[in-house]
Structure formats: C-alpha cells, structure tokens
Structure 1
Amino acid sequence: MPLVFERIDAAPVPPQARQHWVRMRDGVRLATDLYLPEDHATEGERPDGGLPTVLIRLPYDKNSKYVYSDHIAGVFTSCGYAVVVQDVRGKFRSGGRTLPFLREPLDGYDTIEWIVRQPWSDGAVGMFGDSYYGFTQWAAVASEHPALRAIVPRVTTVDFNATVRRWDSETARTGKPVWLEGIEYYAHHWVGNAGYEYEPDRTVRPFIEQYEQVFAAIGARSTWFDLLAPGHTDVLHALGRHPFDARPVPVLHCVGWYDNIGLPNMRDYLALAVRPAWNAVQYLWAGAIDHENYQLDLAPVAPENDHGADEEALKRMMAGYTGPAVEFFEVFLKGTRPASSLARVTWELGHAGWRTAESWPPPGAVEHVLHLGAPADAVRSLPGGTLADEATEGEESVQWAYDPESPVPSAVPDSFAYLQHHPDVADTVARDDVLVFSGPALTSPLDLAGPVTLDLHVSSSAPVFDVFARLLDVAPDGSARMIVRGQTTVRQEPAGDETPIELGHTGYRLRAGHRLALMLASSDYPMYLPASGSTENPWTVSVAKPSTQTLRTGAAAPSRLTVTTAPPMAG
C-alpha cells in the first residue's frame, strides 16, 4: 500500500503584514514580513526616531496558523514595536538550500543589518520564539551584531544535535537512547521548502527502511536526516563561534517543566550561571508547560481550551505566552523600566501557582534522597516496591525483561504536546516488563523545586541496553501521571557500577494523599527506537534481541532517587 502524505505549503501573507525579500550576503533572498503599529502604518522615516524591532526567524511557514505570527505581532505592535518575521533559508517562500542550522549566524546577522538600515528602525533589535526559532536567536548571538540587544529563547537549546547524539565519546559508558521522534522531525520539516505530514509504516524492519519508503513517496530526501540516522554531525562546530563565547546579551530563558527538551534548555541556563558576564544579564522563566505551550492547569486539554485548534483559546493563551517577553523588552529594548523591576527567576509550582526567586534552585531548596527498596514487589502493579529514606541492609535484586517485539508503548503520540493528553499511565506501570517503586501517601504537600536525579546499580544480559525512568504523581484513586522523565543507554563495557540518569528540573506540588512513584522500563516506542539488544546499530538491525535487566539495591548497592524539595508554601 503506497504511503499517504500531506504536503504543507505556504499560507497567504496576512493583510496587516508587508512581505519583503531580504538579500543575504551570498545573494539568496529570504521572505520577510514586516508588521508596524497602527499609528506607524507607513514604512517611512519616523519623526520620533523610529521603533525597536522584535525579530522572529523560523522554518515552519511565517504565515501558518501553527506559529500564529500574526497574533504574536499584534501583541508587540500594540506595545510600540516593529515586528519582523522571516522564513529561514530553504523553507517555504525563502530561497537557498534546505539545510538547518549552518547558515543561521550569517543570515541572522544580515537580517539584523537590514532592519537597522530601515527608516522605521531605531537601531535596537530583540529576538523571540520557540524551539528552532529559539536556536536562531543563539545563532544570531554568535554572530555578534551590535544591534542585538536582548533575546527570549523559549523551549529550546543552543545545541539541538546534543539531544539526538547517542554517545558523547567512543569510550563513554552511558549515552542516550535513539530519540526517534526527534530525528524524525527532520524527515517532516527539512525535506524541501514545504513540510510533510505522514505516518511511517511502523511494521517495517529495519527501521531505517521506514524512511526510505517516505522519501521515495515524496520524491525528495532530508539531508539532515541522512546525517543523523544512523550517523551524526556536529552542529556547533559548523557554526564556528559558540554562542556562549560571544559578547553577552540579556537573555530570558523560557523553560517548560514538561518540555521534551527542557533538560538541555536548563543546562544552557546553568552553564551561563557560572560565567559572571553572562550571569549578570540572564533571567529564567520556568512554567508547567510542554513544548507546544499546553499548560498543566488545563491538562488534559478540552477542545475549547486547545489553542492549536480554537481561536478564542489562542487569544487567551497569548497573554501568558508573550507577557514575559514584553516586560523583558521594556527593560532591554525600550529602556522604559529598570532591570531591578525584573525577577531573576520566575517559576511555576505546578498545582500551586507562580513564585519568584533570586536563583535556581530557589533558596531554601534541599536534596532529599529516597532509596529503592522491596525490589521483589517492584514487578507488581502500584504501589510496587518502596521509596524510603533509609536503604535496607545488604543487597537485593530484581529482574525485568525487554522484548523488542512488544515494547513498552509511549504514553502519548506526540511528546511535544504531552500536556494535551497528560495520560494516566497506571496500566503501563502494571506491565510485567516495568518496575515501579512508591513512597507512602503524603499527609501534607511536598513541593519539588529543582533537579531530579537517579543513581541505579543496573546490568543486562545484553552488551548495550536502555533504561527509561519516569517520576510519577499517584493520586488517591490510583491514577498515575508523569512529573519528569529521563533515559540512558548503557554499555556493559567499559565496566561500571552506578548508572546516573538525569530526569530534569521541575516545580511541582504533590498534594496531600498523593504519593511519589518511580517507573523503570527498557523501551518507550515509538518515541524512542527500540534497542538492538546487541552492539548492532538499532537503525539497521533486522531482528533485535530480547534481554533481561537486573537492578541491585540496598545498602551494599544503593540505587536511589534524589529530588530537590522546598518547604511547603502557601497557595
């Protein structure tokens, strides 16, 4: 049966925007929309000295409903900004080769240079946007254009390649499972100027052949997908200067607790916190949102609250989405407010509202270690084994199976929009190839405020294996919903003892009567590619091998969960 796909082409330019063709230094022209405030309707020279500009550079069609640039522009123009929105090179209306990352520093510089030469510009530029168009901000920072005064990168990271790089070195004992969803992104959005929607035939083996079918049907390939699957390339090396080595620019990092790249996003913030010049001008906004800006307070999302489908829901969402950037730009683009008016950290405690702090984790937060106990019970459904303050004497162990023909299913069809579904995973926890450990029901709220880490004593019958961990909130009715997650790939050689797993950062209140639980498994498909069960490449292996994992715990082999907690707060 032939593969069915939908080609997504450019939507019409909205009437309130004027499209320009901005020439890059190599002659390629990029499609660029200009939005001006209603009282600055013409593009001529301004008697008041011009307007500061908010620049957005993205690959998802600047005029699509998906990115709602017209709504974003409406917010900023109403606050007295010019707004420039651009299709990046090789995407939708823009010319040039369809290849992500590599030209963004130069193209960002050239676009800013075009802006400051316009009669309506006052010479100050800020940048805004999510995901890839957060990356284009970091690329522009690397280019060091003097007019770039502030950036607001949301749910993004400076190095997207690191999210899909399996091993950081040839000798590393731990690495990352193959994030199929993340690599597949390039086969949807970076095949040519258009985008493509389709569902691969998941029954085809080896897995790489699923995408050969896709490219054959479309009649074109994604160069970047070919570099990543099954190999990889080094994005930052290709960019030249690392953005963190460039001139510091004020940054408002916008992190989502449920964002599937929230961990590398937070790493960016923490990496700059130890660089005094950067730390002096960086700020953190962290909310209980996912990559697509769905909110925990509305999850699972009802149709009337789905901003991806409902126009009124989008309007309601817009204030919280753009509000932090408006305040930030008032300080660093307009200069109408002092920097002291901004909180250094603004963060959401899930189920309990917003907080401010001078640093992250917030002052007063402490680490709390919970030891995995009663492992023989962990193969049963909730509550399973225990999470306790003290390790049991000696050593205990438990085994669980990995069957590549029956992998543990991913919780949602699209982890970028996790909170759209925010599923109860209790049935998954009850599988016999999953372990679960639970703490006691809480008699008072427990506030998580900082990183969550896991240290396991784990081995396998396979030379290479995966471990997937989810921290869960188990309600009194037995439903279990994810708080944070992490995963690792482990090689038996070189030999090691403990296996660390970062589960990311969170701000989350476990309410009275709820309990904390930890789920462990060895697969998560189709979000991640199933392990080969051998040293063979999981992309190209035709028949993967099953394996058995062994977890050791107790005082002699202390497998443990470490959460960062803050004293309960009112609200």
Structure 2
Amino acid sequence: MEIVRTGPGPLSPDATQYMVRMRDGVRLATDVYLPAGDVGAGPTIVTRLPYDKTGEYTFMPQVAAYFTARGYRMVVQDVRGKFRSEGETLLFVNEAYDGYDTIDWVVQQDWSDGVVGMWGDSYYGFTQWAAVSTAHPALRAMVPRVTGTRLGELPVPSPGDRTHDVEMSVHRFYPLSYFHDRDILEWELDWSRRPLAEAVEEFFAAVGSRSASYDLWFPHPVTLRRFPAGSPFDAPAVPVLMTIGWWDNCAPWQWADHRELVRRPGWARNEYLLLEAIDHENTSHFDRDATPLESLDRYLGPAVEFFDVFLRGCPGEIPAVRWQLANSGDASLRVSSAWPPPEAVEVTWVASGAAAAAGAAPGGALTPLPRPEPAGAAGAAGAAGAAGAADVAAVAGAGGPAEVAEWVHDAAAPVGSPVGNPFAFLSEYPDERDAADRPDVLVFTGAALTEPLDLAGPIMLSATVGSDGPEMDLFARLLDVAPDGAARLIARGQQTILAPGGAFPVVLDLGHTGYRVPAGHALRLTLAGSDAPEFVPAPGTGEHRWLAATTVPNRQCVRLGGPDGVRLRCTVLPGS
C-alpha cells in the first residue's frame, strides 16, 4: 500500500507566525499578514483551515497578498491538531470555541480595529459557521464558499424515515486522509474488494496509528457536537455572502443552509447569494483551463467588495442575488431580487417508453407538458406537489399508458462515476454518452430544441420506484445532449430508500442550476442504481456498506406514465 505523506510547507516570508493559546491551553499556529507600510489599525480577515496555512493546495500566501494589497490584515490558522498546531486531530468538534478564541486574540492586537470578517471554502467555510455560532461581537461579516453547516455529515435515517442521503465515499475516507493526523495522507482504496473496512485496517497498520475521527464514525456514527454553543442559525445574524457552485458536489449542504436562512427573518435580511458556474475546486465552466492563481479576481473580488461594504462601511449596495447562466457564452453576473428569479416559470417533463429506456440511447422519450406554471407553485423548490386534474390528464397523454421499466443493480459491477475527482468535476467535464448504453441505466431523451432553453432555479424529480432488495439507491442525472451525441451533466440528485417494496413514491432534489441548453440540443434524463466509487454502492444484502463481504444483484423498477410516473420539474426563464 502506497501512502504519500505531505507535511507543512515552508513558512511564508510575508507573514509572522504566532502560537495562539486557546481557552484550554492548546496553542494554534497562526500567520499574520499585514498591509505594506505603517497603516495603523484596520479590519481583519480570518481563515481557519486544515489544509496547511502555507501549503500549495490552498495557496494562502497568495490569497493573503490579495487582501493585504486592498488594505486588509489577514490571519490564517491551522486548525487544532493539523500541521503546526497543537491538540487532538478531530474534525468539526473544536471549531466553534477555537474560532471564538482566535477572533478574541485578533481584536486585542494593535493592528486590529476590532472588526473581523471570515472567508474560505469547504472546511474553512464550515469553520466560519462554527465561529458565528459563538456570537463573538467582533465578527461582522463572512463569506462561506462551497460549504455547509452539515458538511461531511454521514447520512443517518431518522426514526421511521425510509429515505436518506446516499453515503458518499468521502464521508469515511476524509478522516482517513485529511484528519488522520497532522499531515495529509494520500492513498488509494481498492473499491472492488470486500469488505471495504479490511483495507482501512491495512492502512492503519501501514501508518502505525488509527484515526479518531474514523473510529467515531465506524461502523455506526457518533453524532459529533459541531456547535456546542448552539446552532449558528440561532446566533445573531451577520451579513453572509453564500457562494454556491452549480457543479459543486457539496452544494446540497449549502442549499440546505440557504433554506434554513430564509426561514429566519434576521438571517434572511442579511443573506446574499453568489451563484457561480464552478465546481468545488473553483474551476469555472467558462474557463476550465484557468488555474486558481490565474483567476484570483474572480475568486476573491466579490469577497473584497462585500467586506468593503460590511467591514469598512464603504458606500455601495450588494445585490441580493448574483448568478451566472452557464453555457451562454456570457460569464457576467446577472442580478435578481430573489432566487429563483421572480419571472421564472416551472415546466414539467414526463418520461415514457419502458422498453426503449432499457436499451441504448436515445432510449425512451422525455416530453414537456404544454402548460408552464409560476416557479415553485407546484413544488419545484420543495417536495413535488400532487398533480391537478389537468396535469393528470396531460401526464397520461404525454407519457402514454402506465408501464414499468426495469434494470438490475449489481454492486459487483456498478455504474461507474464519470470522473476520478468529483470535487474537480469541471476539470474533466466528461462526455457521459456511453453510460446511457449500459443495460443497468434507464435513459430518456427529449426532442431537439428549436430555440435555447434557459434553466434558472431548482430541479426536482418525482417517481414511483421498487426493488426486490432490502434497500435501493436511485441516481438521476439531467444531461445536455449536443447534435454530435456528446452528453454533459447539468444537474443530478440521489437518494437511498429503505425497504422500497414494489412501489415507493420518491422525490429527488437535483439541486439548482443556471444553464442554457442551446437550440439543436436535447435534454436527457438517466436513472441508475449506483454511481461508484463517488457513492458507496449498496451491496444488495442490506448489510453495512463497508462491512458486507458479498453482494447480491437486485432487480429495480420505476413506473412510467400516469400521475405517479416519472416527472421532471425544471425552473426556466420565460420565452426560452
């Protein structure tokens, strides 16, 4: 087993490192970057991350140079137990009070004017929410990017609930690589062997130590107390710029945060959305070849604008929603008073053609209903609503007679994930046409569009499914099919169903998008039972996915036609 260990990078010559003491005596390695010259006291940007404050992966010295050139002080800290910081390596549980104590230290320095903002991606977006939960009065604004308060949370069904999120492989692999010890450990897990947990034990033996975070989550997760001071949503609201990527594999957690914020008037008044055509690693759909350091203005410019208003009190107004329409040829940010745009409408497509769907592309048909509705009216932003009489008739007419489409899910030969690194999806941006020809993938393709179709908002899929197995995963992907047959991902959703039986109604949230489907292109919907190894496949036996030693193929099905057939609800701009 090959294990590559990456320790801390060299200290930045532009920073001064301090060991900042927390309330329990543990000291955290903290870099301070100051603007050039004797500029006195001013506002500070704080970033707390587990990826090495001077490492190449997150290029914090260059980020700090961008902020300091614009007059900000920047503090970058290795979180507890990582790289140069002391303490136990344990993800999530120490970030709230460590964030408070770090901010408290900042405001006591002579270069601080007592005003603090926080910025960062992914885990260092989570550390912002953790700090907010402690209600430090100096924290005045934050910019959490591609993150969420439930980031990395293992899917655990609530009592009596028969559906939950599908387990991502990164859920348990993250504490084996980024939170095993102080360093980053890179290694490959053989996803074809059973049980998967045996390979983890071999990894522990090779490293010579165990991961406390993994052991807390395996085989059954202990609920980690992420926010010991209380939910961040119960804390006093601060202005928050939520940056969400259309292709970010962690976006569902951030959209869940958005739904929580809009329910709370204080937070709703202080939330600003920046919706970009990016993946988790900040690759842009408009310029997939640009390196992160070549796109610092796009990456950091909106944060500076936001902090100028809310930390410095500069004149200016931040729009409530700014968003990009991917694939439009125009990377500029559009402005809206709300999301989805108030003028958007909902259009429903129905799937039909069971025999063709189980064959090669184009498969069955994907047909739009003729009557659009105001966005959200029939439940596009939440659960799919019950169809009215006119809808039922239209669905039955468009989808033809009720029928059942079947496929076999086999965890020993699962439908493969289309990219090697789902966090950097747009770096690969694969053509997914070949997957549609697999016998274990149902495919439905619409007619070529006669004019562009602008998707702008949530996408939901409702269906009635079944399986002869004890559990079932359902994966849905919405694709843009070009005239040459190339198929590119627009949006996706997935769910685990416990004891599905012969007919279980399910609603899949395929997330949100801003995307133009050009004239001459077509929409395609695919349904499958796996997406491995990005998601750990169901073994077919009902056993724990990491402990199952054998797999059993399951026959799965979905209804087509009629009011409980497959319906895809998309939010679109009128006139497109």
Q: TM-score, normalised by structure 1?
A: 0.93
Q: How does 1:123-272 map to 2 (within 5 A)?
A: 123-162=114-153, 164-167=154-157, 169-236=158-225, 239-272=228-261
Amino acid at match of 1:173: R
- Paired residue secondary structure (1:555): coil
For residues 462-482 of structure 1, what are the alpha-carbon distances to aligned partners after superposition, in whole Å with 9 as ceiling and x for unaligned? Answer: 021111111101111101011
1:85 positional shift: 0.2
How far apart, in 1, do the equivalents of 2:291 and 2:450 lie? 35
1-side partners of 2:513 and 2:573: how far apart?
12
Once the two structures are superposed, residues 446-471 of structure 1 have per-residue CA deviations (whole angstroms, 9 ceiling, x without a partner) of: 01111111111110010211111111
SS for the counterpart of 1:239 is coil
Identify which of 244, 253, 274 aligns with 1:285.
274
Maintained 8 Å contact 1:454/1:502: yes
Residue type at the aligned position of 2:228: L
Partner of 2:303: 325
- Cα deviation, 1:407-457, whole Å, max 9, x if unaligned, reads 111111110000010000111111111011111111111011111111111
2:318 is matched by which residue type in structure 1? Answer: L
- d(CA) in 1 for partners of 2:93, 2:141: 22
Counterpart CA distance in 2 for 1:438 and 1:229 is 41
Report if aligned partners of 2:96, 2:227 keep a CA contact under 8 Å in 1: no
Matches within 5 A, 1:107-118: 107-118=98-109
Q: 2:322 aligns to what?
A: 346
How far apart are the structure 2 equivalents of 1:438 and 1:264? 29
Moved more, 348-357 or 487-496: 487-496
State the match for 1:368 in structure 2: 347
The reply to whether residue 552 of structure 1 matches residue 559 of structure 2 is yes
* Post-superposition offset of 1:567: 2.5
Structure 1 partner of 2:380: none
Residue 68 of structure 1, aligned match among 59, 73, 76: 59
Counterpart Cα distance in 1 of 2:181 and 2:203: 13
Supply the AA of the counterpart residue of 1:454. Answer: L
Letter matched to residue 477 of structure 2: R
Q: CA deviation at 1:223?
A: 1.5
- How far has the Cα of 1:495 moved from its partner? 8.2
Q: Where do 1:15-164 residues align within 5 Å?
A: 15-40=13-38, 46=40, 50-162=41-153, 164=154
Shift of 1:568: 5.1
CA distance in 2, matches of 1:236, 1:368: 41
Segment drifting more, 487-496 vs 382-391? 487-496
Candidates 432, 450, 455, aligned match of 2:457: 450
Which region of structure 1 is more displaced relative to structure 2, 112-121 or 222-231? 222-231
Aligned partners of 1:463, 1:449: CA distance in 2, in Å?
37
Q: Secondary structure at the match of 1:140?
A: helix
Contact 2:466 2:500 in 1 (8 A): no
With 453-462 and 383-392 compared, the bigger mean Cα shift is at: 383-392
Instruction: Indicate the SS of the match to 1:319.
Output: helix
Runs of 4+ in 1 over 4 A off after TM superposition: 493-496
Q: What corresponds to 1:334 in structure 2?
A: 312
One-letter code aligned to 1:331: V
Q: Following TM superposition, by how much is the alpha carbon of 1:544 offset from its aligned partner in structure 2, in angstroms? A: 1.2
Would the aligned equivalents of 1:398 and 1:552 in 2 still touch at CA under 8 Å?
A: yes
> Aligned in 2, Cα 1:171/1:161: closer, same or farther, shift over 3 Å?
farther
Q: Percent identity?
A: 46
| Kept in 2: contact 1:453–1:502 (CA 8 A) | yes
Amino acid at match of 2:268: N
Distance 1:381 1:240 in 2: 54
Superposed CA offset, 1:511-546 (max 9, x none): 111111111111111111110212211111100110
Query: 1:494, CA displacement in angstroms?
Result: 8.2
- Structure 2 distance, partners of 1:563, 1:427, is 25
| Residue identity in the other structure for 1:75 | Y
The one-letter code sitting in structure 2 at the alignment partner of 1:328 is: F
Give the aligned residue type for 1:446.
L
Instruction: Say which of 423, 446, 466 aligns to 1:439.
Output: 446
Taking a change above 3 Å as real, the CA distance of residues 183 and 438 of structure 1, as seen in their structure-2 partners, is same
Matches of 1:203 and 1:128 in 2, distance apart?
Answer: 39
Deviations along 1:142-180, whole A, 9 cap, x unmatched? 011000000000000011254x3142x132111122211
CA distance in 2, matches of 1:408, 1:97: 39
Q: Secondary structure at the match of 2:132?
A: helix
Aligned residue number for residue 6 of structure 2: 8
Q: Unpaired runs of 5+ in structure 1?
A: 308-313
In the TM superposition, residue 398 of structure 1 has moved relative to its aligned partner by 1.1
How far the C-alpha of 1:237 sits from its partner, in A, is 6.0
C-alpha distance after superposition, 1:232-281 (max 9, x if no partner): 23235653400000011110000001000112211211221121111111
SS of structure 2 residue aligned to 1:386: strand
The DSSP-based 3-state class of the residue aligned with 1:38 is coil
Which among 502, 506, 523 is matched to residue 509 of structure 2? 502
Asked whether the 8 Å contact 2:21–2:28 carries over to 1, the reply is: yes
The answer to whether the 8 Å contact 1:263/1:505 transfers is: no
Amino acid at match of 2:336: A
Is 1:149–1:332's contact at 8 Å kept on the other side of the alignment? Answer: yes
- Aligned length, in residue pairs: 545
1:379 aligns to 2:358 (yes or no): yes
Q: Find the partner of 1:483 among 490, 493, 501.
A: 490
Cα distance in 2 between the residues matched to 1:472 and 1:25: 51
Could you say which residue in structure 2 is the equivalent of 1:310?
A: none
CA contact under 8 A between 1:236 and 1:242: conserved in structure 2? no
